[in-house]
């Protein structure tokens, strides 16, 4: 793609936003949290390295047994681990949930704080989680939460080439006027799940096809495996390596180390 001026990139980025608004006018957080910022905070904390659907399966029991920050702060870690076991990393997540609730009770009077600085002090809460809690829980838009979907879409659209989520967020904040920041996370997550998927994105039917520099270049179909334990034939391996090299060259986002989690 020829070098694009910042003005042209902004123009294209605004067209992306307009089309996202048309296609996903009511995009919202897929995590269930009953409108409660505390439940949202814990649900986002739990969603690291797992799917929102997986989190939504375990949180009903968590809220039933520990409905308030005070209840969770006093919870037995082994019981919380039992509830969280299906979503993986349950030891760390259970410990962080309880510590997070303890800090909310002990330092913030039982209410989830409303600022980045305070939210990021909570155990298990990073910048992305703080962004989501502020935006979705309190309607405060201070940034754009960059998760794995937003990161991938931003890179395929060539709106960022940063290798880290925080830098990708900064790129997006510079390109988009503030009034556009709010819906980006939820819309791009839906778009990343339904259209611009990590593997085999639907370029042919994509509503951004005419303004996407990665149209038709982002295919990342995994190599076909032969029977378990067998290496592919030499010729197949060579072809596969060539395809892989081509795909990597066309898709810098997925080459980046430390790609963000959900």
Instruction: Give the residue, chosen from 29, 195, 247, 256, that forms a contact with ligand SF4 under the rule CB under 6 A.
Output: 195
Burial of 226 (0-12, 13-18, 19+ CB in 10 A): exposed
Catalytic residue among 52, 93, 147, 171: 147
Positions of E strands within 125-180: none
CB of 258 to ligand SF4, least distance (A): 22
CB of 214 to ligand SF4, least distance (A): 4
Q: Evaluate the CA torsion angle 186, 192, 198, 199 in order and state its sign.
A: positive
Instruction: Give the residue, chosen from 46, 190, 206, 253, that forms a contact with ligand SF4 under the rule CB under 6 A.
Output: 206
Task: Kindly report the number of other CB atoms within 10 A of residue 247's CB atom.
Answer: 16
Task: Kindly report the number of other CB atoms within 10 A of residue 91's CB atom.
Answer: 13
Mask: binding to ligand SF4, 141-180, rule CB under 6 A, as x and -? ---------------xx-----------------------
Instruction: Give the residue, chosen from 87, 189, 196, 253, that forms a contact with ligand SF4 under the rule CB under 6 A.
Output: 196
CB of 25 to ligand SF4, least distance (A): 19
Choice between 37 and 192, CB closer to ligand SF4 = 192
Burial of 138 (0-12, 13-18, 19+ CB in 10 A): middle
CB of 196 to ligand SF4, least distance (A): 3
Instruction: Give the residue, chosen from 162, 189, 208, 253, that forms a contact with ligand SF4 under the rule CB under 6 A.
Output: 208
Active site residue 128: yes
Q: Is 201 in the site for ligand SF4 (CB under 6 A)?
A: yes
Residue 95, CA distances (Å) to 63, 166, 222, 251 in order: 16, 26, 36, 37
Q: Which residue has the tokens 């760390």?
A: 92
CB of 180 to ligand SF4, least distance (A): 17
Q: Is 209 in the site for ligand SF4 (CB under 6 A)?
A: yes
CB of 223 to ligand SF4, least distance (A): 20
Instruction: Give the residue, chosen from 21, 51, 115, 202, that forms a contact with ligand SF4 under the rule CB under 6 A.
Output: 202
Q: Is 214 in the site for ligand SF4 (CB under 6 A)?
A: yes
Choice between 37 and 260, CB closer to ligand SF4 = 260
Q: How many CA atoms lie within 13 A of 84 on its CB side?
A: 26
Choice between 189 and 208, CB closer to ligand SF4 = 208
Q: Which residues bind ligand SF4 (CB under 6 A)?
A: 156-157, 195-196, 201-203, 206, 208-209, 212, 214-215, 218
Q: Which residues are catalytic?
A: 128, 147
């Amino acid at each position: 793609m020829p070098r694009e001026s910042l003005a042209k990139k902004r123009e294209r980025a605004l067209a992306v936003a307009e089309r996202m608004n048309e296609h996903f006018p009511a995009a919202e957080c897929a995590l269930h949290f009953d409108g409660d910022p505390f439940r949202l905070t814990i649900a986002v904390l739990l969603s690291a390295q797992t799917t929102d659907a997986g989190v939504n399966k375990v949180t009903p029991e968590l809220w039933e047994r520990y409905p308030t920050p005070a209840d969770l702060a006093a919870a037995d870690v082994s019981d919380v681990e039992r509830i969280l076991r299906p979503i993986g990393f349950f030891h760390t997540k259970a410990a962080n949930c309880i510590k997070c609730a303890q800090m909310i009770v002990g330092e913030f009077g039982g209410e989830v704080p409303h600022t980045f600085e305070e939210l990021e002090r909570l155990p298990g809460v990073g910048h992305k989680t703080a962004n989501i809690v502020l935006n979705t829980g309190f309607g405060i838009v201070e940034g754009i939460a960059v998760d794995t979907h937003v990161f991938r879409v931003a890179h395929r659209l060539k709106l960022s080439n940063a290798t880290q989520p925080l830098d990708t967020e900064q790129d997006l904040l510079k390109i988009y006027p503030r009034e556009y920041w709010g819906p980006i996370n939820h819309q791009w997550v839906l778009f990343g799940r339904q259209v611009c998927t990590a593997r085999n994105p639907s370029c042919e039917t994509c509503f951004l096809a005419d303004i996407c520099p990665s149209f038709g270049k982002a295919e990342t179909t995994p190599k076909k495996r032969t029977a378990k334990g067998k290496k592919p034939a030499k010729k197949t391996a060579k072809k596969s390596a060539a395809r892989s090299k081509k795909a990597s060259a066309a898709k810098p986002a997925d080459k980046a180390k430390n790609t963000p989690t959900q």
